[in-house]
Chains A and B, each alone.
Chain A
Amino acid sequence: MSNSHLFMKSGFIKTPGQNGVGRYICQLQRVVLKFCKNNGSSRGLRDFIEKELVDFAKDNPGTVVYLKPRRHRAPVIIAEYLNGERQYVNCHNYTSEEVSKWLNLLRTQAGNNDNIRLRKLWHTDHPSIQGPWTPYTFREPALNLVDFPNEELSKPLYVEPSATEKLLEIFKEQQRNLNILEKNQRE
């Protein structure tokens, strides 16, 4: 996340659940294409209207398409969704292909996803079956019966043997060898 996104609304991806109401239908309910009949910046949008708009409307009977010519104003597309959200796309100097692509995006999404920083690219209501971690999750059961403070638990996990301990070990081995020798000699 960059600094320019600090004040952006954040959220998770969502589906239009709504208890089954409004599922399995196109979420784009109404689209308004606003353009100017003269101005060059609307040219792409005008081309789109001439060549492709009728097909678009036929392919998407669930979407209401409005055209709104207005003099000397910028071309825009306004999409309105089933969940009440509106999305505004400025089509200044767009070619007809670009307009087509944007319209396709508006048609396929479920709401206004503009200006939302997705915290994660996935979302689930049940992130873990095991349940969130607690301090007791992987705790050794034996610890429940211990009286604190406990000397044994307090000792460090690994200590290198000291010089004295090493000497003692050598001494013990010597004694063992001597004993074995004595036994062998007796036999």
Chain B
Amino acid sequence: MAVLKRVQQWATFARIWHIYDAAWQNPFESAGVLKKYLTGLYKPIYHPMNDCGDHIVVINSAEIALPGDEWKKRVYFHHTGYPGGATWTLAWELHEKDPTMILKKAVYSSLDKNLQRRYTMQRLHIFPDANVPSDMLKSISNQIKQLRLVPKRLDTYSEEEIKSFPKIYDYPKPYILK
């Protein structure tokens, strides 16, 4: 019985690995969803004092979509501690330097501000593209649903689909940009 109980305990507190595709997703809205899985809030056994958070692998973080003019207007502040050590980095600049940083900071600030925060962040693995180490990919067993539909670009449609799309009239040739 003791063996069975021990295994039961392992099963109940097993850490699940989720994967989340951040392509075309708002990182600040995604952070709320990721937080739920990172802290284990969705589990019926959840309690703030029990360690039941899951791992999340986030892919395509380079392709996140910020709303409105946030790329230009959102500013990340950092201070080295020395006089004159303050820097203000725009979101697009930060994203150029490290394409995982915006999402990481969004999740970090959405988490509860307590001692557990750093350890919870260690369970978040962000990758700028779809290249995930194979050992990580092996343990993944759930996909977190995206918040928004990924829009389809015109060049991904086939010729046939473009031709069969209903049109009221065809533009004359001089009006078409090549």
Contacts and interface: CB of A to CB of B under 8 A. Distances in A.
**A contact residues, range:** 20 to 34
A135 interface: yes
Given A148-B141, A148-B143, A159 B44 contact: no
5 contacts: A134-B11, A148-B140, A148-B141, A154-B21, A156-B145
A171 interface: yes
Interface of A: 131-136, 143, 146, 148-150, 153-157, 159, 167-168, 171
Nearest to A150: B143
Contacts of B11: 134-136
Contacts of A135: 11, 14, 16, 43
A108 B140 CA distance: 57
B147 interface: yes
A155 B146 contact: yes
B148 interface: yes
A169 to B, nearest CB: 11
A28 B59 CA distance: 67
B19 A148 contact: yes
Contacts of A155: 145-146, 149
Which 7 interchain pairs have the tightest Cβ spacing? A153-B143, A134-B11, A148-B140, A171-B166, A154-B21, A159-B149, A135-B16
**Most interface-central of A134, A143, A150, A168 (chain B CB within 10 A):** A134
A9 to B, nearest CB: 19
Contact of A132 (B21, B45, B130, B145): B45
A156 B21 contact: no
Interface in B44-97: 44-45, 59
Nearest to A148: B140
Contacts of A143: 141-142
A156 B149 CA distance: 6
Nearest to A160: B149
Nearest to A138: B44
Contacts of B16: 135
Given A150-B143, A155-B149, A156-B146, 7 more contacts: A133-B12, A135-B16, A135-B43, A136-B14, A148-B143, A154-B145, A155-B146
Contacts of A153: 143, 145
A134 B7 CA distance: 11
Contacts of B140: 148-149
